[in-house]
Amino acid sequence: MNSLKEITTAGLVSRLEKKDTVVVDVRPVDAYNGWRCEGEERGGHIPGARSLPEKWLRYMDWIEIVRSKKILPDQKIIVYGYTPEQSGHVADALLKAGYRDVSVYNRFPDEWVRREDLPLEKLARYRQLVSAQWVKDLISGEQPPEYDNDRYVICHAHYRNREAYLSGHIPGAIDLDTLALEDPATWNRRTPQELKEALEQHGITADTTVVLYGKYMDPDNNDPFPGSAAGHIGAIRCAMIMLYAGVRDVRVLNGGFQSWKDAGYPVDTEDVPKKKVKDFGREIPARPEIIVDIEEAKEMLRAEDAELVSVRSWREYIGEVSGYNYIEKKGRIPGAVFGNCGTDAYHMENYRNVDHTTREAGEIEALWREAGLTPDKHLAFYCGTGWRGSEAFFNAWLMGWPRVSVFDGGWFEWSNDPDNPYETGEPEGKAKVIRQK
């Protein structure tokens, strides 16, 4: 390891507002989001810091990841982590990659965190995005941090693919077919009575802590495939519907089953029986504002303080493809803002990190703001049938944005009505912003 320059706390404070300086947090993404992963007094990250976990050094395209985050060789880079070894490892890699001005800040855990006058930022609802370690503590009978319930259910979500569950899951997890909560005829959430019965069948009440995760599945053959995210999108779709129904404590494993595997934790193949409960315990939907239907979506298109956000791929948005073999019409809803999920209907890479964890909130927010999407507006995210829209919604909800929803019917419902207008081709103006990024 090269000899590294060290910066003091005062030196770091003096550089925080400098445009040529980038502060890099190399701790796990969960620590960056706000979890006190090493038992520190306060959680969160240095304001404006970028998340670049040491773990990502294992990826062959690591330097491309760094540059995609606009961390560039002509900037002054300040690296910090939990230990000098952690920050030094990443700083040394940056120097070897041609970054000229790299220094390390090694006083974060024992000085920055302990000084109340030094600010920390965190994801508003970071508690609802948990780590593999948190889940392991939960199932081991230990008390995980920031959890005070005595009843929980862990759900391995899948779409008509119990083999994905039976081939390996988190010990104690039950399987949850997304069709339990979705109507296969419309792909919208099921009726309140059907949701009530489904949740009760899965042992879930309004006061149950529910932890959801999925595997990354190849949409062609349903085998685990790291390049896709369909399985875990389904888990987040179920999380959104549970929030809508009224489950008070819904949590998602950050990175899904991949994070569990990366941590080296044991995997089980037992078919864990579901423990039915008598009553959900709350009127459904307890939070109806989380989902909008087509008439409200049309009202939002006319409103000055609302936006429909199309979380689809560029080719879907401009009408080159419909995205689905069961959706014939191609195009977009006129007036919808482009939210760019990624390459196609089964991927969400523009909302994910390389290890499938949720992308840092600041990056997503910056793209949204450039496209005119701001937290003072009512935003309804949609895609083809609600899955990708649910994940974008979940990101905004984690960020604490106050008026966010899912347009449940999405392009499937909109395009099925011949009276509804639609557009094709490249739009002008703000719709191009996220595409260009």
Tokens in use for 103?
């220094």
Q: Which residues, in sequence order, are bridge partners of residue 149?
A: none
At 219, give phi and psi (nearest 5°).
-65, -15
Q: Quick check: do 5-112 and 288-436 share a fold?
A: yes
- For the whole model, what pTM was predicted? 0.94
pLDDT at 332: 96
CA 223 to the chain's CA centroid? 22
pLDDT at 41: 96
Instruction: Give the helix/strand (H/E) hosting 392.
Output: helix 387-398
Please give the average per-residue pLDDT across 17-41, as a whole number.
97
Given pLDDT bands bounded at 50, 70 and 90, which one contains residue 325? confident
- Is 383 tagged catalytic? yes
CB-based burial, 202-235: b 16+ in 10 Å, e otherwise: bbbbbebbbbbbbbbbeeeebebbeebbbbbbbb
Residues whose CB is less than 8 angstroms from the CB of residue 193 and which lie 6 or more positions away in sequence, other chains included: 284
% of the chain at pLDDT higher than 90: 91
Query: Mind listing the pLDDT tens digit for each residue in 350-394?
Result: 999 999 999 999 999 999 999 999 999 999 999 999 999 999 999
Query: Mind listing the pLDDT tens digit for each residue in 46-60?
Result: 999 999 999 999 999
Q: What stretches of 65-109 adopt beta strand conformation (E)?
A: 76-80, 101-105
**Mean pLDDT over the full length of the chain:** 93
For residue 243, pLDDT beyond 50:
yes
DSSP 171-222: TTPEEEEGGGTB-TTT-SBPPHHHHHHHHHHTT--TTSEEEEEE--B-TTT-
- The single residue listed with the structure tokens 């044991």 is 266
Query: Mind listing the pLDDT tens digit for each residue in 261-314?
Result: 999 999 999 999 999 999 999 999 999 999 999 999 999 999 999 999 999 999
Tokens in use for 287?
């939070």
Q: Considering the domain 126-262 in this protein, what is its CATH number?
A: 3.40.250.10
pLDDT higher at 195 or 217? 195
For residue 224, pLDDT beyond 60:
no
% of the chain at pLDDT higher than 70: 94
Structural fold of domain 288-436 = Oxidized Rhodanese; domain 1 (3.40.250)
Query: Mind listing the pLDDT tens digit for each residue in 314-323?
Result: 999 999 999 9
CB-based burial, 58-84: b 16+ in 10 Å, e otherwise: eeeebbeebeebebeeebbbbbbbbeb
pLDDT at 217: 55
Q: Considering the domain 5-112 in this protein, what is its CATH number?
A: 3.40.250.10
For residue 257, pLDDT beyond 70:
yes
Which one of 37, 155, 341, 383 is the catalytic residue? 383
For residue 427, pLDDT beyond 90:
no
Domain range list for the chain:
5-112, 126-262, 288-436
- The single residue listed with the structure tokens 């080159």 is 320
Least confident range from 29-38, 217-226, 323-332, 371-380: namely: 217-226
| Residue 126 near residue 183 (C-beta atoms within 8 A) | no
Tokens in use for 142?
């230990």
Query: Mind listing the pLDDT tens digit for each residue in 90-115?
Result: 999 999 999 999 999 999 999 999 99
| Amino acid residing at 18 | K
